[in-house]
Structure 1
Amino acid sequence: MASSKKAARQRRIIDELNIQPSLRIAELADRLGVSTETVRRDLDELTRDGLIARTYGGAVRRNTAEPGLNERHNLLVTERQAIARVAAPLLAGSSLLMIGSGATTVHVARRIAFEMNRITVITHSFGVATVLSLNPTIQVIVTPGLYHPGEGAIHGAQTLRFLEDFRADWAVVGASGLDDEGASDALIEASEVYSMMMRRSARTMIVADSSKFGQHFAARYTTWDRVDTVVSERAPTGRLLKAMDAGGAIVRTPAPSPFPGG
């Protein structure tokens, strides 16, 4: 009887995530009428079965293809803001940055606009360029190329040729998936741009929330020995952490809150 109740409850969790792709533990507990401890156990089991992806304090549905950018902008906002707060100070002292497309990189760019001055940023993302315009001391160069409306970004051969003429201090890029083989993206065209940005930069930072851990998508654009820093809202574990350590990638996460429950 208890087993059937658990199965029904876990089906309900998946149904809720199909309606709202990102949910907090407290929200699920309220909707299901159970304790937060019960929800945590269910989420852990569903994650082990590969049906969902755990985040700090909740879960997201697991996709074989990434949602469109407009949908991603509404997911994991708290996690991405935390990532941006860690990432931006690490870029201090830079003169030229290359920033890739994605929901997380837009959060990082917004933070850069508040914390940095008199720098140049090259990007293929309209969202990144827009939030950087909040700071008039930042010179923004948008690459040429073919516009991809689903990603709000520019890709293609013209983009790659343009990037070859520059040398940046940092490439800041996102990812659809992070596994022990490296970082990958659901969009092949985006992965080509990220790879070129990395080649034309002295250092590389990948910014990605923990729902990307253990996931692999169509286009792998780097291995861990080519990445300097990974910023996420929580640290990876197991094979992924070992692979990052072996490749020399340093993982940076927010400092723990000094306040209980913070």
Structure 2
Amino acid sequence: MRQEKRDRQAKILDALGQAPSLRVAELASSLHVSTETIRRDLDELTEAGLLNRTYGGAVRPQGSEPGIAERKLINLQERRRIAQAATRLVGDARSLLLGSGATVEHVAREIAARLDNIMVTTHSCGVAAALASNSSIEVMLIPGLYHAAEACVFGGHAIVFLQNLYADYVILGASGVDQDGPNNALAETAAVNAAMLGRSAKSIVVADQGKFNQQFATRYASWTQIGTLVTDAPPPENLASSLNSHNVRLLVAAETG
């Protein structure tokens, strides 16, 4: 695929991450291409399973979260800012637990660039790969059943393995964050997240504003279990009130440049 088409389709997916539906004419206007080009893009993205075509546009499947391969293409600047802010919080760490997901992979890249001589334990193959650029970081992979769409492991082996670990911080992503706490679209991943929370002294959730007031299958923690939420924009009033009432630190990563 040519870079121009790749960039355009990434922008389409990014736009769909911010709105429940898209119109061909609006996309053509905003991306400065013909409606025929947009229709071909939508057909290709539908064939790849990344969206659903409708008459005159496209929608994201109701109640579903895109796989990590797609999520890596959207909200790149926002996730980078969140990752930079989260990494600054753990500069004193000697051991970390990292969950899975696109935002946590951004965190892993920042950790690899900025921290040295630490141990990181993770159930995400993408996180482990991102950390590999820094040879001073010792990476431990949690065993378990492999989930191909999320490039991570889960299951009883992972949960049992975590019971023998301890970390200074855990950094977790989320499919959604609402007034009750962070949640995940996959119950299997949520179970690993919950186990990680029990094995760390301090906890950080990283989630961009697109996750606000989104509810998915499994809530893996209440806000009483979370120390800090790092995001890219102030949350809506109901979420902000819940964070405040549960003494969760809110860190909004500022836009720079």
How does the TM-score come out when normalised to structure 1? 0.77
Superposition deviation, residue 205 in structure 1: 0.3
Task: Assess if the C-alpha contact under 8 Å between 1:22 and 1:61 holds in 2.
Answer: no
3-state SS of paired residue (1:235): coil
- 2:246, 2:180 → 1: CA distance? 10
Superposition deviation, residue 63 in structure 1: 4.8
Q: Deviations over 1:9-36 (max 9, x none)?
A: xxxxxxx99x9221399xx978447xxx
Task: Assess if the C-alpha contact under 8 Å between 1:233 and 1:254 holds in 2.
Answer: yes
Q: Deviations over 1:103-127 (max 9, x none)?
A: 0000000000011000000000000
Task: Assess if the C-alpha contact under 8 Å between 2:13 and 2:73 holds in 1.
Answer: no
Match of 1:252 in 2: 251
- 2:231, 2:61 → 1: CA distance? 18
CA RMSD of aligned residues (A): 2.4
- 1:170, 1:63 → 2: CA distance? 34
Q: Deviations over 1:72-113 (max 9, x none)?
A: 111111110111111101001101100000000000000000
* Unaligned 5+ runs, structure 2: 1-7, 20-24, 31-58
Match of 1:20 in 2: 12
Match of 1:86 in 2: 85
Match of 2:236 in 1: 237
- 1:154, 1:208 → 2: CA distance? 21
Distance 1:30 1:145, change over 3 A: closer
Match of 1:154 in 2: 153
3-state SS of paired residue (2:239): helix
Match of 1:36 in 2: none
Match of 1:208 in 2: 207
- 1:116, 1:108 → 2: CA distance? 11
3-state SS of paired residue (2:219): strand
Task: Assess if the C-alpha contact under 8 Å between 1:148 and 1:155 holds in 2.
Answer: yes
- 1:134, 1:101 → 2: CA distance? 18
Superposition deviation, residue 238 in structure 1: 0.7
Match of 2:106 in 1: 107
Match of 1:53 in 2: none
- 1:161, 1:97 → 2: CA distance? 18
Task: Assess if the C-alpha contact under 8 Å between 1:185 and 1:220 holds in 2.
Answer: yes
* Unaligned 5+ runs, structure 1: 1-15, 34-59
3-state SS of paired residue (1:192): helix
Residue type matched to 1:20 in 2? I
Superposition deviation, residue 255 in structure 1: 3.0
Match of 2:97 in 1: 98
Q: Deviations over 1:46-65 (max 9, x none)?
A: xxxxxxxxxxxxxx968511
Count residues with an aligned counterpart.
215
Distance 1:186 1:30, change over 3 A: closer
Match of 2:219 in 1: 220
Superposition deviation, residue 225 in structure 1: 1.0
Indicate the percent of aligned positions where both proteins have the same amino acid. 37
Match of 2:48 in 1: none
Superposition deviation, residue 178 in structure 1: 0.5
- 1:30, 1:131 → 2: CA distance? 33
